[in-house]
Structure 1
Amino acid sequence: MSTFPRTAALLTLSLGALASLPALAADDLHYNQVSLRAEASQEVARDLMIVTLYTEAQNADAAKLAAEITTAMNKAIGQAKQVKDVTLRQGSRNSYPVYDNKSQKITGWRERAELRLESSDFAALSKLTGELMQTLKMGNMQFAVGNAARKTSEDALLKEAVNAFKARAQLATDALGGKGYKIVSLNLNSNGYPQPFMRGPMMMKAAAADMESAPTPDIEAGTSEVSMSADGVIEVQMQ
């Protein structure tokens, strides 16, 4: 009568031991593992100029106001299309009611429409901006790293980031007294897009005056930092 329970108990114990083997093997993979991070960066010239112009008007007749804004924008777009290597994008367009201060009744409508211009040819875009500002106003001016320059920079930084990771991995291996290491995982990431540099209000005002008075004012766009990080895990082979 007692044979079956003992056999069942031994079988249960054996199955439990077998079930624990994969877990033990998985734990072994984490021995002598070290998480590391390395980063490479460089300053890249901002080669893209971005200008936002707008027109704004008010009229008691909403339809006439819309037609006025549309006419102004169409004229500006047609003029801008004549300039080579300038990319056009229509920005936001908003219309809202104007109320009487006392009666709070709607007395008219105000509308604003934006036009965004981009180019790596600063001289051409500066000249065009100056011409368009005869009828439009400047919303903002900013400079950024273009896609082509960013990709070229990131490709070069990828190699630098990997080499920096390897150097740090060897340093960690030496510190632990290991004879070598192998890379368990490695993730390479560009740390987002550099924020465009925007001119301050006073600088924008001065730039606007220059563009109206001179066809090709000198513009200093500056640089932005582009970086690439290498995050990974190595397994140190101990002696």
Structure 2
Amino acid sequence: MIPFRHLLRSMPLLTLLLATPAPAASPDSRTTIDLAAEASRPATNDLARATVFAEATGVTPSDLSRRINGLISDGLRTARSYSSIKTQSGATHSYPVYGKGGKIENWRMRSELTLESSDTGALSELLGKLQASMGVASLAMLPAPETRRKAESEAMLDALAAFRARAKIIAEALGKAYRIRHLAINSSGRPPVVPIMRAAALASADAAPMPIEGGDTQISANISGQIELLE
């Protein structure tokens, strides 16, 4: 039998143990849930970008170079008459054309110009003129940088609102409050490049303006993250 005086000595410790609350759940032991949300906004394709080229075959590289450079110079001269169109020299390639026995029979050369403008009417007219002597390799309609940024911001806000709405639904269904632990935000949306007819068909076309239709590009924002359910 434990002496009474020993029991008295142990009572403060026993009282302290009984009065100490259970430790709170650590953040690491709380339930976490991964979520994702997406939203998109249309961005007007208000910028046109085209690549035109001069291509020919010649017996000697020097003769071929003079012909191609002449066509490119004429194209630049025509393009510079349109102040609303940004013109830039592109890639130039030359390579030999081999015949029987592995001998070089001819040389082929191609040189490009890049045209960019928000004035689609002017660019359409210019492309119609250039097709008399040059081919059109590609034509793309895309949002101008400021147009894209605006659509990205709007899509991002929509995606964030959708993420918070999902988080609230899940937390309320479980009878919990929540906090956001982390978020990752990404945006996307690339307009396709419009394929153009072969150069041979374009070379025989008249100087009628090339039809250009802008349309829209869907800019998407993707939100992924994690919420933590609170006690």
Q: What SS class does the counterpart of residue 101 from structure 2 fall into?
A: coil
State the 1:200 CA deviation: 5.8
Matched, 1:72 2:71: yes
Instruction: Give 1:183's aligned residue.
Output: 180
Q: What SS class does the counterpart of residue 102 from structure 2 fall into?
A: coil
Matched, 1:214 2:208: yes
- Tell me, yes or no, if the aligned pair for 1:144 and 1:197 is still in contact at 8 Å: no
Matched, 1:224 2:220: no
Q: 2: CA distance between counterparts of 1:110 and 1:86? A: 29
Runs of 4 or more, structure 1, over 3 Å off, are 25-28, 199-202, 212-215
Letter in 2 for 1:219: I
1:126 equivalent among 124, 127, 131: 124
Q: Percent identity?
A: 33
Q: 2: CA distance between counterparts of 1:141 and 1:55? A: 16
| Higher radius of gyration, 1 or 2 | 2
Instruction: Give 2:133's aligned residue.
Output: 135
| Structure 2 CA distance for partners of 1:213 and 1:108, relative to 1, 3 Å | closer
State the 1:175 CA deviation: 2.1
State the 1:59 CA deviation: 1.3
RMSD: 2.4
Q: Can you give the 5+ residue segments of structure 2 that lack an aligned partner in the other structure?
A: 1-23
Instruction: Give 1:112's aligned residue.
Output: 110
Q: What SS class does the counterpart of residue 173 from structure 1 fall into?
A: helix
Instruction: Give 1:98's aligned residue.
Output: 97
Letter in 1 for 2:43: V
Q: 2: CA distance between counterparts of 1:197 and 1:47? A: 14
State the 1:91 CA deviation: 2.5
Q: What SS class does the counterpart of residue 177 from structure 1 fall into?
A: coil
Instruction: Give 1:195's aligned residue.
Output: 191
- Tell me, yes or no, if the aligned pair for 1:99 and 1:107 is still in contact at 8 Å: yes
Give the count of matched residue pairs. Answer: 205
Q: 1: CA distance between counterparts of 2:29 and 2:144? A: 42
State the 1:195 CA deviation: 3.1
State the 1:197 CA deviation: 4.1
Q: 1: CA distance between counterparts of 2:42 and 2:55? A: 38
Q: What SS class does the counterpart of residue 103 from structure 1 fall into?
A: helix
State the 1:168 CA deviation: 0.8
| Structure 2 CA distance for partners of 1:196 and 1:92, relative to 1, 3 Å | same
TM-score by length of 2: 0.79
